[in-house]
Copies of this chain bind each other. A is one copy, B any other.
């Protein structure tokens, strides 16, 4: 055996290069604050009251990544922790609270509130999980014929029919073909399966784009206020700057390009390099559905300003008003004559929303158009580090973009399930909106789409003072009182952002219809007492 001397070694080299460059302390204001914190090997005792740090444990909140500490996610924040505690108390001691169940209206999680899955989708998933039964005669009696056919089709799209294998990092090619065909059918414009990246829900896709776009605090992302806090959390975690633009509550949460322009200029004047615009349509938490001409103006704005458009379109199937219709930004931009060469767009879709609401499956995709081949290679590389998204979620994403069609055995029952859910959601949205608008000091825009209402509450000065005394935001104070009195969990507007001096909360429209009257009366009664208590 001979030894040949060489010096190249990809990973090794990288490390040595890394080690050679001197470490530095970032000039990030928060980091600077932390640079005086104890070094790792000799952690001092932490000042936290909740659990004093143990000198034998190397980590303390003073020595973790400050971006993690700074990040907030109200949808599963403090109020939910309180709700979980109350639920445990109810279980341990029934009757210990003035309600007998916790109603989780904090998050768009339809199945947790009793929504049933679409049968066809679950049939196909079960058959793909256990393909050994596909040839058995009993299976014919248990599953619909088109579900069996579809399961075979899906399996044939998977190399070696191996549903237990890692797939291509963008997702199984055949499933991406199906999704692309679904997008084409929706938009009337071509879609390329190579533009599609299947992901474990929309959240990891958003993180991936933020990771790609954000280099430092000097990079900004335009986000609506109010916004879904995934965006603020992700921007914080990746060390960028959220550049807010305000939706206009008075015009039904209107999105004005003049506001976009104003905030862009303000950010630029502060030296922020704004890289992308986030638009959530239908809106979360605000529920508005954008009009076509508004969308055209947004596309034009992004094009002129050289911004990537990050289009959160996960509620595309959730539109409840006859005068509004969902249009994808891809369709809008194509209808304006803009192709891949002209306009950079990422559209996010998820299996967690729509009429299916399959949150637990963690399926979704992003369609990435108008990026160069080399940028897409970088996105592919990021996807490949996590290998691939889960195959059941991938299959489900293809099913929601290609549901049963006329003539299929499941078609009628599928339509009945789908229409039943969507029309019920529309009724629930209306009932809750009306109830909220009947409350003193509450104004609530219509939920044209999505799964939420975002009422404004005009809180009495005395309540605001009481909140201040309790060291909490006034809307959080209201929400906490609401939970303690009724078991209803909603999220304070401060978790989404709002015009300073205004207060809101987000409430899903998802409780089952038979529960709505009780919710309305509990809410109304609570609100009356609250207003009485704090009347000036």
The 8 A CB mask of A45-86 against B (1 = contact, 0 = none) is 010101111101111110011111111111110000000000
Contact of A166 among B66, B107, B216, B232 (CB under 8 A): B107
How many chain A residues sit at the interface, stated as a range, is 35 or more
How far, in angstroms, from A439 to B234 measured CA to CA in the complex? 51
B residues near A53, Cβ cutoff 8 Å? 372, 374
Is A96 interfacial (CB-CB < 8 Å)?
Answer: no
Chain B CB within 8 A of A157 CB: no
Contact A56 B14 (CB under 8 A): no
Does A211 sit within 8 A of B, measured CB to CB? yes
* Residue contact A201 to B9, C-beta cutoff 8 Å: no
Q: In the assembled complex, which residues on chain B have CB atoms less than 8 Å from the CB atom of A129? A: 122, 125-126, 129, 392
A502 vs chain B, min Cβ distance (A): 8
Point out the residues of chain B lying under 8 angstroms from A242, CB to CB: 11, 14-15, 18
Contacting residues of chain A (408-462) with chain B, CB-CB under 8 angstroms? 441, 443, 458-461
Closest to A59 in B: B375
Given contacts A23-B241, A56-B342, A112-B165, contact A232 B11 (CB under 8 A): yes
Cross-interface CB contact of A8 among B142, B143, B370, B500, cutoff 8 Å: B500
Cβ of A150 under 8 Å from chain B: no
Task: Report the separation of the CA atoms of residues A130 and B70 in the bound assembly, to the nearest whole angstrom.
Answer: 41
Given A125-B130, A163-B360, A165-B112: A212 touches B10 (CB 8 Å cut-off): no
Closest chain B CB from A455 CB (angstroms) = 12
Chain B binder among A27-35, A181-189, A289-297: A27-35
Q: How many copies of this chain does one complex carry?
A: 2
Decide if B136 touches A501 in the complex (CB within 8 Å).
Answer: no
A362 to B165, CA, bound (A): 10
Closest to A19 in B: B270
Is the pair B25, A360 in contact by a Cβ cutoff of 8 Å?
no
Would you call A111 an interface residue if the criterion is a C-beta within 8 Å of the partner chain's C-beta atoms? yes
CA distance A43 to B163 in the complex (A): 43
Q: Mark A169-202, 1 if CB is under 8 A from B, else 0.
A: 1000000000000000000000000000000110
Binds B, one of A318-326, A383-391, A397-405, A478-486: A383-391
A227 located at the interface, meaning its Cβ lies under 8 Å from any Cβ of chain B in the complex: yes
Task: Report A156 CB to chain B, min CB distance, Å.
Answer: 15
Contact, CB under 8 Å: B112 / A22: no
Partner of A71, one of B60, B381, B443, B501: B381
Cβ contact within 8 Å between B68 and A381: yes
Main secondary structure of the interface of A (DSSP, over half): loop
The reply to whether B391 and A215 contact each other, CB–CB distance below 8 Å, is: no
- Pair A270/B23 contact, Cβ less than 8 Å: yes
Question: A495: which of B10, B25, B43 is its contact (CB, 8 Å)?
Answer: B10
| A93 touches B (CB below 8 Å) | no
| B360 A391 Cβ-Cβ under 8 A | yes
Q: Are A218 and B2 in contact (CB under 8 A)?
A: no
Interface residues of A in 108-151 (CB under 8 A from B): 109-112, 114-115, 117, 119, 122-123, 125-127, 129-130, 132-133, 136, 138-139, 141-143
Instruction: State which of A250-258, A304-312, A521-529 sits at the interface with chain B.
Output: A304-312
A470 on interface, CB distance cutoff 8 Å: no
Contact B6–A474 (Cβ < 8 Å): yes
Contact A306 B359 (CB under 8 A): no
Among B43, B166, B271, B458, point to the contact of A109 (Cβ < 8 A): B166
Chain B residues positioned under 8 Å from A111 (CB to CB): 160, 162-165
Q: Cβ of A207: which chain B residues have Cβ within 8 Å of it?
A: 386
* Chain B residue with Cβ nearest A107: B166
Report the minimal beta-carbon distance from A132 to chain B, rounded to whole angstroms. 7
Across-interface contacts of A69 in B (CB, < 8 A)? 378
Is A489 located at the chain interface by the 8 A CB criterion? no
Q: A57-B344, A138-B138, A360-B164 are in contact. Are A458 and B4 (CB under 8 A)?
A: yes
* Cβ-defined contact, B39 with A273, below 8 A: yes
- CA A370 to CA B238, docked complex, whole Å: 27
Collect the chain B residues with CB atoms within 8 Å of residue A14's CB: 70, 72, 232, 236, 242
Find out whether the CB atom of A68 lies under 8 angstroms from the CB atom of B212.
yes
The 6 closest A-B pairs by CB, nearest first: A23-B218, A11-B497, A126-B130, A111-B164, A360-B391, A112-B165
- 12 contacting pairs across A/B (C-beta < 8 A): A3-B502, A11-B497, A19-B241, A23-B271, A41-B305, A48-B374, A54-B341, A57-B371, A115-B164, A136-B141, A201-B387, A234-B385
